[in-house]
A and B are shown apart, each in its own frame.
Chain A
Amino acid sequence: MDTFDFLTGNIDLILKLTVEHLSLVAVAVGLATLTGVPIGIAITQNERVARVVLYLASIIITIPSIALFGIMIPILSTIGQGIGYLPAVIAVLLYSQLPIIRNTYTAINNVNPALREAARGIGMNPVQRLRMVEIPLAIPVIMAGVRTAVVMNIGVMAIAAYIGAGGLGVLISRGITQSDPRQLIAGAIAVSILAVIADYGLLWLQKRLTPKGISA
Chain B
Amino acid sequence: MIRIDNLTKIFETPNGPVTAADHINMEVPEGEICVLLGPSGCGKTTTLKMINRIIPSTSGRIYINGEDTTGMDTVELRRNIGYVIQQIGLFPNMTIEENIAIVPKLLGWEASRYKARAKELLDLVALDPGTFLKRYPRELSGGQQQRIGVARALAADPPVMLMDEPFGAIDPINREVIQDEFMKMQQELRKTIMFVSHDIDEAVKMADRIAIFRDGRLVQYDTPDDLLAHPKDDFVESFVGDDRALKRLRLVQVKQVMEPVTTVRPEDSLSTALQRIEQQGYSHAILMVNERQQPIGYVSRSVAQTTSGLCGEHYFGLKTEASPEDDLRKVASLMFTHDTTWLPCTDANGTLVGQVTQRGITHYLGATYHPDALGTLPRQLHKVSA
Contacts and interface: CB of A to CB of B under 8 A. Distances in A.
Interface of A: 112, 114-115, 117-125, 128, 132-133, 136-137, 211-214
A213 B136 CA distance: 5
Given A212-B136, A213-B138, A123 B92 contact: no
A17 B77 CA distance: 59
Interface in B66-87: 75-79, 83, 85, 87
B102 interface: yes
A213 B77 CA distance: 29
Q: Give chain B's interface secondary structure class.
A: mixed
A15 to B, nearest CB: 39
Contacts of A137: 92-93
Nearest to A214: B92
B218 to A, nearest CB: 23
Contacts of A125: 75
A123 B54 contact: no
Nearest to B86: A114
B365 to A, nearest CB: 40
A75 B94 CA distance: 49
Contacts of A118: 83, 85, 87-91
Contact of A123 (B79, B85, B136, B162): B79
8 contacts: A114-B89, A115-B89, A121-B52, A122-B152, A123-B103, A123-B106, A212-B93, A214-B93
Given A114-B88, A120-B54, A124-B106, A211 B93 contact: yes
A133 B93 contact: yes
B137 interface: yes
Q: Find the residue from A117, A121, A125, A136 having the highest chain B CB count within 10 A.
A: A121
Contacts of B94: 132, 211, 213
Contacts of A123: 75-79, 103, 106
A122 to B, nearest CB: 5
Contacts, number: 75
Given A123-B75, A123-B103, A213-B136, A117 B91 contact: no
Pairs of residues from A and B, 8 with the lowest C-beta to C-beta distance, nearest first = A118-B89, A114-B87, A211-B93, A213-B136, A123-B79, A121-B83, A123-B78, A136-B93
B95 interface: yes
A213 B139 CA distance: 9
Contact of B103 (A120, A122, A213, A214): A122
Interface of B: 52, 54, 75-79, 83, 85, 87-95, 102-103, 106, 136-138, 152-153, 162
B364 to A, nearest CB: 42
B54 A117 contact: yes
A143 to B, nearest CB: 14
Given A118-B91, A213-B138, 8 more contacts: A112-B87, A112-B89, A117-B54, A117-B85, A117-B89, A122-B106, A137-B92, A212-B136
A119 B79 CA distance: 11
A160 to B, nearest CB: 38
B280 to A, nearest CB: 60
Nearest to B77: A123
A120 B77 CA distance: 11
Contacts of B78: 120-123
Contact of B91 (A120, A121, A133): A133
Contacts of B75: 123-125
Contact of A122 (B79, B93, B95): B79
Given A123-B79, A213-B138, A114 B93 contact: no
A125 B76 CA distance: 10
Nearest to B53: A120
Contacts of B138: 213-214
A124 B153 CA distance: 13
A133 B94 CA distance: 9
Nearest to A121: B83
B235 to A, nearest CB: 30
Contacts of B91: 115, 118-119, 132-133, 213
Contacts of B102: 122, 124, 132
A55 B191 CA distance: 52
A122 B76 CA distance: 10
Counting chain A CB atoms within 10 Å of each CB, which of B54, B91, B95 scores highest?
B91
A99 to B, nearest CB: 23
Contacts of B79: 122-123
B335 to A, nearest CB: 45
